[in-house]
Amino acid sequence: MFVDHARVVVLGGRGGDGCLSFRREKFVPKGGPDGGDGGDGGSVIFITDVSLTTLQAFRFRQHFRAAKGGHGRGKNQHGRGGADLRVAVPAGTVVQDETGEVLVDLSETGHEWVAAKGGHGGRGNARFASSTNQAPRRFEPGTPGEEKTLVLELKLLADVGLVGMPNAGKSTLLSRISSARPKIADYPFTTLTPHLGVVESGPFESFVVADIPGLIEGAHDGAGLGARFLRHVERTSVLVHLVDISAAIERDPVEDLKAIERELIEAGGLNLKPRLVVATKADLVPGMPEAESALARLKSHCRRHKLPFASISAATGSGLRELVTKIDRMLRKSIAGKAASAPRAVRSGGASLGEEE
């Protein structure tokens, strides 16, 4: 089961209490105070783990408490520090507080972040001895650790995102160009969770593709499954927009393209990413006048808006090798552009689609 949202409670360990003690040994007069300090409590630390791809583990455990610090003892013995609790999360996890404020974006492998600090250990009475107070009876209790309620939200780390209307052929394409095996069926919303697949683009070269559940108009407002899964394309470098040409009898492919583009705009400017428009199920076009006309209009629309275009058939394999090559080329160009513009923080991407003229 794919889980990309979780609410957890993290508690740092309480610090140990300081000790009130006086040295009392035979033949040692006026031994004085010898109460030790309490140990510090452990902290709850989030660490990214590349082997994790979902927040599934947080369905069964929502409370994370680090170990307490040990109490101080006589003979100036300090308490042991509490052990830190390290919690593994998938790379791409965004941590928010209850108000929705983003606290940290754990997008790098091996990234560590202290979610809840442990409390400090209290001082024993030996710490308060002075020339004017040689027998202090003062000591400090340990302080409690931090307690927070956090919201974890996973945004998949993928190079390429497949977007489009339901039944546009995204899952079929992913299964043909990678070893991923998403569910495939001839009804809408077959894909209920994102799937990742690794595509080999050449010798020792590959990129990761994310299959996003089908989008419909109004997805950014919660229609269909879009509001929940649109965020998974935020980190992608290239978007591949699949359009079902065989559905031209029931729907206009050009209007479908525009509808999804509007959702990408409303979702926070995702239309600024480089995009490749792909006409799918091309093997069904011959003998379908409506599909042939729609394909011609879609090509013209993309040419007018300077959007790269490709036509494929995942069923027969036609155009798949050329598609992978084109995606790889766009991905390399996008990564090079980001690297060149990083010092100047210039936002780059493809042109946005306007309305059909």
Express each pLDDT in 268-278 by its tens digit: 677 788 889 99
Residue 314 belongs to a domain with what CATH number?
A: 3.40.50.300
pLDDT score, position 354: 39
Closest CA to 22 of 125, 138, 132: 125
Rounded distance, CA 12 to CA 68, Å? 8
> Residue 243 belongs to what domain range?
160-344
Q: Are residues 133 and 169 in the same domain?
A: no
Let me know whether 124 and 3 are in one domain: yes
**Among residues 111, 116, 4, which one has the least CA distance to residue 57?**
4
5 falls within a domain: yes
Is there a domain that residue 18 lies in?
Answer: yes
- Please identify, among 134, 154, 174, the residue that sits at the C-terminal boundary of a domain: 154
Cα Rg, the chain, nearest whole Å: 29
With 0-12 CB in 10 A as exposed, 13-18 as middle and 19+ as buried, what is 30? exposed
CATH number for the domain including 89?
Answer: 2.70.210.12
Same domain, 164 and 145: no
Model confidence pTM above 0.75: no
284 or 122: whose pLDDT is higher? 122
204 with 69, same domain: the answer is no
In terms of domains, do 169 and 150 share one? Answer: no
Same domain, yes or no: 253 and 121: no
Please tell me whether residues 150 and 193 are part of one structural domain.
no
Domain boundary among 154, 181, 201: 154
Tell me: pLDDT of 137 over 60: yes
Domain total of the chain: 2
Residue 335 included in any domain = yes
* 167 and 297 assigned to the same domain: yes
Higher pLDDT, 335 or 9: 9
Residue 224 has pLDDT above 70, yes or no: no
- Give yes or no for residue 308 having a pLDDT over 80: yes
20 with 104, same domain: the answer is yes
